[in-house]
């Protein structure tokens, strides 16, 4: 006979923050609090102020107008345990707004996240399961895994990038500097340079050579900065793969 699970906390008081969500996840969080699901039977209680909260439930991709308020809410919580739960796809990684200039891409870019509850929006049962893991009432059935550096997308036009995430990172980086309109042709040009290079040293030389031939000093700086950014990203990926091996 297996031993009963020992809860980590006897009860958890939570404070909910809407970080620019569409209200889909917020409705599901409220649904969990209704008598039908009755999350309070597990000792989870919604409180009106972060000063009383043990955990912070954050929904929505964190936009630039919310980030300061979100940090202040986190700092207003008691020092321990200060648990943060990301509710929904937007809070986990930005959702469909991943490469938007308006958002940071996920709560973990701003605050340390302890538990992720996926879904768009997550069902009330999923939220209950996540809170159950937090309390220690249920075992974790899904182990976290990282596919950033191990799964390549080599059948596309990313070339040396070999990873769709790196491609999106470069596109997002260019968007911050030149906007949506100019991003596309600069990105296409840089992909040609990346695909023609066989090593990182050769890639760096080709980007420097391409930047030196551009008359516009603003574009020349964009090529130099974005080139250094993607070279460093590729180096990090190679280092990660070698460490795992």
Q: What share of the chain is helix, strand, coil (3-state, %, to 5)?
A: 50, 10, 40
pLDDT tens profile 91-131: 988 887 876 777 877 888 889 988 888 888 888 888 888 88
User: Which range among 4-8, 98-102, 149-153 shows the weakest confidence by mean pLDDT?
Assistant: 149-153
pLDDT given at position 58: 93
CA distance 224 to 207: 7
Which DSSP helix (H) or strand (E) runs through 205? helix 200-212
Contact 29, 127 (CB under 8 A): yes
CB 139 within 8 A of CB 147: no
Question: With pLDDT > 90 as the criterion, what percentage of the chain qualifies?
Answer: 9
Look at residue 87 in the predicted model and tell me its pLDDT. 92
What is the model's pLDDT at position 226?
A: 86
Q: Residue 182 and residue 66: Cα distance in Å, rounded?
A: 28
Is this model's pTM higher than 0.85 or not?
no
- Give the span between the Cα atoms of 28 and 122, in whole angstroms: 7
How open is the CA angle 24-123-137, to the nearest 5 degrees? 130
> What string of DSSP letters covers 149-199?
TT---TTSTTGGG--HHHHHHHHHHHHHHHHHHHHHHHHHHHHHHHHH-SS
What distance separates the 2 farthest-apart alpha carbons in the chain? Answer: 76
| Side-chain half-sphere CA neighbours of 226 within 13 A | 32
User: Could you report the per-residue pLDDT of 53-76, keeping only the tens digit for each?
Assistant: 989 999 988 888 888 889 999 999
Amino acid 148: pLDDT: 43
CATH T-level topology, domain 12-135: Rossmann fold (3.40.50)
Per-residue confidence (pLDDT) for residue 142, from 0 to 100: 56
CA distances from 11 to 7, 40, 44 (A): 9, 9, 6
């Amino acid at each position: 006979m297996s031993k009963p699970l020992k809860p980590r906390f006897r009860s958890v008081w939570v404070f909910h923050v809407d970080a620019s969500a569409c209200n889909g996840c917020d409705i599901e969080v409220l649904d969990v609090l209704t008598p039908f699901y009755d999350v309070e039977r597990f000792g989870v209680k919604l409180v009106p102020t972060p000063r009383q909260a043990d955990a912070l439930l954050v929904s929505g991709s964190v936009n630039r107008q919310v980030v300061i308020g979100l940090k202040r809410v986190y700092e207003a919580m008691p020092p321990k345990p200060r648990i943060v739960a990301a509710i929904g796809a937007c809070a986990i990684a930005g959702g469909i707004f991943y490469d938007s200039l308006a958002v940071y891409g996920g709560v973990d870019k701003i605050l340390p996240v302890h538990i992720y509850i996926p879904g768009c929006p997550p069902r009330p049962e999923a939220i209950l399961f996540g809170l159950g893991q937090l309390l220690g009432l249920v075992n974790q059935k899904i182990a976290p895994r990282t596919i950033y550096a191990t799964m390549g997308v080599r059948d596309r036009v990313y070339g040396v990038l070999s990873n769709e995430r790196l491609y999106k990172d470069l596109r997002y980086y260019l968007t911050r500097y030149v906007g949506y309109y100019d991003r596309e042709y600069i990105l296409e040009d840089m992909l040609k340079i990346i695909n023609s290079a066989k090593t990182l040293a050769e890639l760096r030389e080709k980007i420097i050579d391409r930047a030196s031939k551009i008359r516009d000093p603003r574009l020349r700086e964009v090529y130099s900065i974005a080139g250094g950014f993607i070279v460093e990203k590729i180096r990090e990926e190679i280092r990660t793969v070698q460490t795992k091996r």
